[in-house]
């Protein structure tokens, strides 16, 4: 292998990237757009639930309960007048997620020490959000009930009841339970997979369509030199995208980086190399840019987005789908990213992920090089 020829291919491909401002702008702007879109628009946090309250009792006790809803960050009371019809209309128009109905004689039941009921009406079209909102509302009502019980006991000169169990929750690694703290690191894997697979999947196919591949074949450049030269150019671009995503994630969204920076660079470079080789392999097999683009989208973006654990927990997937995710490289990179960013773990924990990514990169590079030699021959 000649370093001179390798450097010439690298320089040629770098000049081609620089002379195509649209592709270069897309490669550098896609990470920014995706991070801004997912970081600000996409959130799995359920708070500020739009709530309507229908108070039929209109007593100090019911108003105290309403103030509990108003004072909670999980609820936003946007409607308090009207009745069942107004709540149903708000849910139908997607303006409301929760309706709270306080019945008549609510305060009288409380004063007599009897059970007082509160009705919760939920929009179940989004079952996950509705379940979380119901849990928040039930916890708030139970806390209000416990406070009323303790106040009644104190008024009678009795000692407050002590709970037999005291659950003290300690959240590790993401104590504020912010969804962006695991969405942003996982998004780096999706960005690298999209950019690398899409750009490199078009490079060889474009050479065949424009006729420049025949010119390259007339030179002394060997298949391995051609492959590595192209990979080097796009590797630099991919690492630049990773740097942009990292700066935005840390600086703009405040995502913590508790682990080693150099370990993050190592995993990113290893994953990026494998993704670039996969794109080159697709481009070598498909001589049409359109076919290469479609194949790269199906084989890179969709698995990275749906089957990596980035958005959906793998443990909740059907068993057969869980087994399919074992061959998705983005799954292992997402695990490594979350471990480095949030948990601060090192190679002693992430060695299995590193081993899989290393084997994947070596296997795909071997296949791409062999296919390149077959095509050129």
Looking at the structure, tell me whether residues 346 and 311 fall in a common domain.
yes
Which pLDDT score, from 0 to 100, does residue 260 have? 92
Looking at the structure, tell me whether residues 197 and 307 fall in a common domain.
yes
Looking at the structure, tell me whether residues 353 and 267 fall in a common domain.
yes
Which pLDDT score, from 0 to 100, does residue 207 have? 65
Which residue has 């980086």 as its token pair?
257
Q: Does the structure show a pLDDT above 70 at 176?
A: yes
Looking at the structure, tell me whether residues 286 and 347 fall in a common domain.
yes
How do residues 19-75 score in pLDDT, each as one tens digit? 777 767 777 787 888 888 877 776 666 778 899 999 888 888 888 888 989 888 889
Task: Quote the crossing angle between the two packed helices 261-285 and 180-210, to the nearest 10°.
Answer: 30
Looking at the structure, tell me whether residues 327 and 184 fall in a common domain.
yes
Looking at the structure, tell me whether residues 338 and 210 fall in a common domain.
yes
Looking at the structure, tell me whether residues 260 and 235 fall in a common domain.
yes
In a domain, residue 270? The reply is yes
CATH of the domain at 99: 3.40.1710.10
Using the 3D structure, point to which of 155, 190, 216 is the last residue of a domain.
155
How do residues 291-350 score in pLDDT, each as one tens digit? 777 777 788 878 888 888 887 788 888 889 889 899 889 899 999 998 999 888 999 999
Using the 3D structure, point to which of 155, 189, 213 is the last residue of a domain.
155
- Burial of residue 265 (CB within 10 Å: 0-12, 13-18, 19+) is middle
Domain total of the chain: 2
Which pLDDT score, from 0 to 100, does residue 337 have? 92
Looking at the structure, tell me whether residues 200 and 335 fall in a common domain.
yes
Looking at the structure, tell me whether residues 186 and 270 fall in a common domain.
yes
Most confident of 72-81, 167-176, 190-199: 72-81
- Of residues 308 and 212, more confidently modeled: 308
Looking at the structure, tell me whether residues 199 and 61 fall in a common domain.
no
Averaged pLDDT, 231-248: 85
CA distances for 12 relative to 5, 18, 21, 41, 111, angstroms = 10, 10, 15, 39, 84
pLDDT bracket for residue 160 (50, 70, 90): low
In a domain, residue 164? The reply is no
Which residue has 């709540």 as its token pair?
87
Most confident of 24-33, 84-93, 196-205, 257-266: 257-266
pLDDT bracket for residue 203 (50, 70, 90): low
Which residue has 């150099």 as its token pair?
262
Which pLDDT score, from 0 to 100, does residue 218 have? 61
Query: What length is written for the chain?
Result: 377
In a domain, residue 191? The reply is yes
In a domain, residue 173? The reply is no
In a domain, residue 166? The reply is no
Q: Does the structure show a pLDDT above 60 at 115?
A: yes
The domain containing residue 260 runs over which residues? 3-42+179-376
The partner residues of 54 in beta bridges, in order of sequence, read 101
The Cβ-side half-sphere exposure at 354, using a 13 Å CA radius, reads 14
In a domain, residue 167? The reply is no
pLDDT bracket for residue 370 (50, 70, 90): confident
In a domain, residue 170? The reply is no
Which pLDDT score, from 0 to 100, does residue 234 have? 82
Averaged pLDDT, 204-217: 63
Structure tokens at 72: 């909670």
Using the 3D structure, point to which of 155, 189, 217 is the last residue of a domain.
155
Which pLDDT score, from 0 to 100, does residue 171 have? 79
- Of residues 324 and 213, more confidently modeled: 324
Looking at the structure, tell me whether residues 35 and 57 fall in a common domain.
no
In a domain, residue 168? The reply is no
Q: Does the structure show a pLDDT above 70 at 140?
A: yes
Looking at the structure, tell me whether residues 110 and 25 fall in a common domain.
no
Distance CA 181, CA 105 (A): 46
């Amino acid at each position: 292998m000649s370093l001179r020829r390798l450097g010439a291919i690298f320089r040629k491909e770098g000049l081609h990237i620089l002379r195509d401002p649209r592709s270069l702008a897309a490669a550098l702007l896609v990470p920014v757009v995706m991070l801004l879109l997912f970081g600000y628009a996409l959130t799995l946090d359920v708070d500020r639930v739009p709530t309507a309250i229908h108070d039929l009792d209109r007593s100090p006790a019911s108003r105290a309960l309403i103030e509990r809803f108003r004072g909670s960050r999980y609820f936003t009371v946007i409607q308090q007048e009207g009745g069942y019809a107004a709540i149903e209309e708000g849910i139908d128009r997607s303006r409301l997620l929760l309706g709270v109905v306080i019945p008549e004689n609510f305060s009288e039941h409380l004063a007599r020490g009897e059970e007082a009921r509160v009705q919760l009406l939920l929009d179940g079209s989004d079952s996950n959000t509705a379940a979380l909102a119901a849990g928040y509302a039930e916890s708030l009502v139970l806390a209000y009930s416990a406070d009323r019980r303790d106040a009644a006991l104190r008024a009678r000169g009795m000692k407050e009841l002590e709970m037999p169990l005291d659950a003290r929750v300690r959240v590790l690694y993401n104590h504020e339970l912010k969804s962006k703290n695991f969405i942003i690191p996982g998004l780096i894997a999706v960005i690298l997979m999209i950019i690398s697979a899409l750009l490199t999947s078009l490079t060889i196919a474009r050479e065949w369509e424009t006729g420049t591949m025949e010119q390259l074949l007339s030179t002394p450049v060997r298949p391995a030199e051609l492959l590595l030269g192209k990979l080097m150019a796009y590797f630099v671009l991919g690492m630049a995208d990773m740097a942009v995503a990292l700066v935005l994630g840390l600086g703009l969204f405040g995502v913590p980086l508790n682990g080693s920076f150099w370990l993050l660079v190592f995993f990113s470079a290893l994953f990026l190399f494998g993704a670039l080789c996969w794109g080159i392999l697709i481009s070598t097999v498909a001589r049409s840019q359109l076919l290469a683009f479609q194949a790269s989208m199906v084989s890179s973006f969709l698995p990275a987005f749906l089957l990596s654990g980035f958005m959906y927990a793998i443990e909740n997937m059907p068993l057969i789908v869980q087994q399919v995710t074992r061959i998705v490289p983005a799954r292992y990179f997402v695990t490594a990213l979350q471990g480095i960013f949030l948990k601060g773990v090192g190679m002693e924990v992430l060695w299995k992920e590193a081993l899989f990514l290393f084997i994947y990169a070596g296997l795909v590079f071997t296949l791409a090089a062999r296919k390149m030699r077959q095509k050129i021959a």
